[in-house]
Amino acid sequence: MPRQRGFTLVEALVVVTIIGILAAFGFPAMTRFLTTQAVRSASYDLFADLIYARSEAIARGTAVKVTGYSDKDYKQGWMIEAVGAAANPIRTQGPRSSAIVFTASQNTFTFDRTGRADATMTFNIV
């Protein structure tokens, strides 16, 4: 009789069961990892844009403001624009698709022409 090659149905079911068990243990850790990465990404983007807005205020010699698209909800995105300029934004940030909460203490943050902030603003990214 010629020898047959391959896996039996029982062997295949055991392997699928083991993979399912490993995936069930790994899913919560992966969910936490993705949430942590979304928060980290949002904070890095915000920090970079605040530094950029400050440098633009100094370089242009005029006030530059960062404005959220939605009232205090920066998850919807924000815009950087020169105060008193035409309606052309300097830079925009689109909305976040991740399941994070990204709010601010106020909707607008302004840097004067010397690069100083007009007020203290706090952000909450969870």
Contact criterion met (CB below 8 Å) for 120 and 109: no
Comparing C-alpha atoms, which of 93, 90, 91, 110 is closest to residue 102? 93
Give the CA distances from residue 108 to residues 59, 75, 80, 83, 103, in Å, rounded to whole numbers and listed in that order. Answer: 20, 14, 10, 11, 12
Phi and psi torsions of 114, nearest 5°? -95, 0
Model pLDDT for residues 51-86, shown as the tens digit of each residue: 999 999 999 999 999 999 988 889 999 999 998 866
User: 70: part of which helix (H) or strand (E)?
Assistant: strand 64-70
Buried/exposed 4-13: b ≥16 CB within 10 Å, e otherwise: eeeeeeeeee
Q: What are phi and psi of 37, to 5 degrees?
A: -65, -35
Give the pLDDT confidence of 91-113 residue by residue, as tens digits: 999 998 888 899 999 999 899 99
Higher per-residue pLDDT: 99 or 115:
115
The answer to whether 36 and 82 are in contact (CB under 8 A) is no
